């Protein structure tokens, strides 16, 4: 009932409020989501737009004209600047002097790594002391130690030479070279954000009257003592079934000068989807993997982009631990720009989608305390 009210009311609200409410659902909140444009989106849908570097980037600088003749996918596609509607004071992206595309081998050499090895017709691996990258030409889906991550641009190849986009090298690959380093503790305080609450019930289980808001609160309550046992202080954005605005959730992190912010959610889709997703804010200059039909202006820098490096490290640590300790299908570390609880954070922040309440198997598991304890333990282990 409450879910229906939420769905009915949202399109009638002003755009900014509508954005906040829908972003609160963040991948969950019902089997379908109606967007401001009137398009019905399936939560969990991954969008993979063509790479369209912002116009402020220089044309590709190439080693020699003989080696790289920019293919269609290399060609910068100037796009119209998008006026940000966010209230989070984004700033225009600054021009960069770096080349857009770099040979994978060049990046590996810059990082002191051995040359990439070709493992299939289109896939390449790079090994480091911390793990193994695998990228595949033509797809944004890459992996790190077998865990999926979604790149901003599909790697390309010309004359058998694989190239990666410099933003992917900087924002996705380089942080993972330090994936084994523990998350910095600072003041040692984590804010846990159980998604939804009160009139925002989140998504409803396919098995009946079980709601995301109750499961996420239980998950956070189980996680709190596990983190405290590992030396963290923990603050929850809600400890009861109450409605909490998204801005308040971020404010709680700010007021507590939190070192880390973890938002806990469960997912839903019209059919077929199952597994684990971990989100962090999209770096400036690249497209998100999830937009839910919201504007996704790549040419702005959001306050939360100051955390890009640690965001990726934290997201992969959490995601990998979930896969290892819970064992559901891997839907990857993904990027989103519209999620209000991530946009303005001044600390590493991720949003975890801990399974699909629309999937009968996962809904059945999520309804058991034992499974929610496994979810909590998996997150805690990522922060040891």
In whole angstroms, the minimum distance from the beta carbon of 151 to Zn ion comes to 25
Q: Which residues pair with 200 in a beta bridge?
A: 197
19 binds Zn ion (CB under 5 A): no
Distance, in Å, from the CA atom of 254 to the CA atom of 189, rounded to the nearest integer, reads 11
Residue 258: name the closest of 313, 308, 187 by CA: 187
CB nearer to Zn ion: give 170 or 214: 214
Distance, in Å, from the CA atom of 96 to the CA atom of 150, rounded to the nearest integer, reads 23
How many residues of this chain bind Zn ion (CB under 5 A)?
Answer: 4
Stretches 138-146, 261-269, 281-289, 319-327: which one binds Zn ion (CB under 5 A)?
Answer: 261-269
Stretches 12-20, 264-272, 330-338, 341-349: which one binds Zn ion (CB under 5 A)?
Answer: 264-272
202 binds Zn ion (CB under 5 A): yes
CB nearer to Zn ion: give 133 or 356: 356
Burial 342-356 (b: 16+ CB within 10 A, else e): bbbbebbbbbbbbbb
Helix (H, G, I), strand (E, B) or coil at 330: strand
In whole angstroms, the minimum distance from the beta carbon of 200 to Zn ion comes to 9
CB nearer to Zn ion: give 53 or 195: 195
Are residues 215 and 290 in contact, defined by beta-carbon separation less than 8 angstroms? no
Distance, in Å, from the CA atom of 307 to the CA atom of 349, rounded to the nearest integer, reads 8
222 binds Zn ion (CB under 5 A): no
∠ CA 89-91-97, rounded to 5°: 160
Q: Contacting Zn ion (CB under 5 A), which of 33, 265, 292, 313?
A: 265
In whole angstroms, the minimum distance from the beta carbon of 5 to Zn ion comes to 17
Say how many C-beta atoms besides its own lie within 10 A of residue 97's C-beta. Answer: 7
Distance, in Å, from the CA atom of 319 to the CA atom of 147, rounded to the nearest integer, reads 8
213 binds Zn ion (CB under 5 A): no
CB nearer to Zn ion: give 3 or 383: 3
State the distance between the two ends of the chain, measured CA to CA, in whole angstroms.
Answer: 41
Stretches 30-38, 118-126, 185-193, 201-209: which one binds Zn ion (CB under 5 A)?
Answer: 201-209
In whole angstroms, the minimum distance from the beta carbon of 361 to Zn ion comes to 19
In whole angstroms, the minimum distance from the beta carbon of 268 to Zn ion comes to 9
Distance, in Å, from the CA atom of 140 to the CA atom of 148, rounded to the nearest integer, reads 10
In whole angstroms, the minimum distance from the beta carbon of 325 to Zn ion comes to 21
Residue 237: name the closest of 222, 259, 212, 254 by CA: 254
Q: Contacting Zn ion (CB under 5 A), which of 3, 19, 21, 28?
A: 28
195 binds Zn ion (CB under 5 A): yes
Give the distance from CA 271 to its chain's centroid: 22
269 binds Zn ion (CB under 5 A): no
Are residues 238 and 244 in contact, defined by beta-carbon separation less than 8 angstroms? yes
Stretches 108-116, 149-157, 260-268, 330-338: which one binds Zn ion (CB under 5 A)?
Answer: 260-268
297 binds Zn ion (CB under 5 A): no
CB nearer to Zn ion: give 195 or 283: 195
Stretches 50-58, 71-79, 192-200, 226-234: which one binds Zn ion (CB under 5 A)?
Answer: 192-200
Stretches 28-36, 55-63, 223-231, 269-277: which one binds Zn ion (CB under 5 A)?
Answer: 28-36
Distance, in Å, from the CA atom of 261 to the CA atom of 332, rounded to the nearest integer, reads 19
In whole angstroms, the minimum distance from the beta carbon of 338 to Zn ion comes to 13
CB nearer to Zn ion: give 28 or 189: 28
220 binds Zn ion (CB under 5 A): no
Q: Which residues pair with 81 in a beta bridge?
A: none
Residues in the chain: 384
Per-residue CA distances from 74 to 128, 138, 161 (Å)? 27, 11, 13
Distance, in Å, from the CA atom of 289 to the CA atom of 308, rounded to the nearest integer, reads 15
In whole angstroms, the minimum distance from the beta carbon of 263 to Zn ion comes to 8
CB nearer to Zn ion: give 202 or 355: 202
Under the rule (CB under 5 A), what is the footprint of Zn ion?
28, 195, 202, 265
């Amino acid at each position: 009932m409450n879910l229906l009210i939420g769905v009915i009311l949202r399109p009638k609200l002003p755009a900014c409020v509508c954005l906040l409410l829908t972003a609160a659902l963040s991948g969950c909140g019902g089997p379908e989501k109606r967007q401001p444009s009137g398009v019905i989106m399936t939560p969990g849908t991954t969008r993979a737009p063509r790479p369209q570097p912002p116009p402020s980037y220089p044309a590709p600088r190439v080693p020699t004209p003989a080696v790289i003749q920019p293919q269609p996918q290399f060609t910068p596609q100037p796009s119209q600047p998008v006026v940000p509607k966010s209230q989070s004071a984004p700033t225009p992206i600054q021009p960069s002097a770096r080349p857009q595309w770099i040979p994978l081998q060049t990046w590996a050499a810059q990082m002191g790594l051995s040359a990439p090895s070709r493992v299939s017709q289109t896939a390449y691996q790079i090994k480091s002391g911390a793990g193994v990258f695998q990228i595949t030409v033509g797809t944004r889906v890459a992996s790190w130690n077998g865990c999926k991550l979604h790149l901003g641009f599909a790697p390309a190849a010309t004359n058998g030479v694989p190239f990666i986009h410099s933003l992917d090298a900087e924002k996705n690959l380089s942080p993972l070279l330090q994936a084994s380093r523990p998350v910095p503790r600072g003041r040692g305080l984590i804010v846990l954000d159980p998604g939804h609450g009160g009139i925002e019930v989140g998504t409803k289980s396919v098995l009946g009257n079980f709601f995301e808001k109750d499961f996420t609160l239980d998950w956070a309550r189980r996680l709190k003592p596990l983190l405290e046992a590992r030396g963290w202080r923990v603050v929850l954005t809600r400890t009861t079934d109450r409605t909490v605005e998204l801005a308040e959730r971020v404010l709680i992190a700010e007021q507590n000068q939190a070192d880390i912010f973890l938002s806990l959610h469960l997912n839903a889709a019209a059919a077929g989807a199952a597994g684990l997703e971990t989100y962090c804010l999209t770096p400036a200059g690249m497209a998100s993997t999830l937009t839910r039909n919201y504007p996704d202006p790549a040419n702005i820098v959001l306050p939360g982009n100051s955390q890009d490096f640690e965001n990726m490290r934290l997201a992969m640590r959490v995601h990998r631990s979930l896969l290892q300790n819970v064992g559901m299908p891997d839907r990857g570390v993904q990027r989103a720009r519209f999620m209000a609880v991530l946009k303005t954070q001044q600390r590493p922040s991720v949003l975890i989608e801990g399974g699909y309440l629309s999937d009968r198997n996962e809904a059945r598991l999520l309804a058991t305390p034992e499974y929610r304890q496994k979810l909590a333990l998996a997150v805690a282990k990522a922060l040891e």
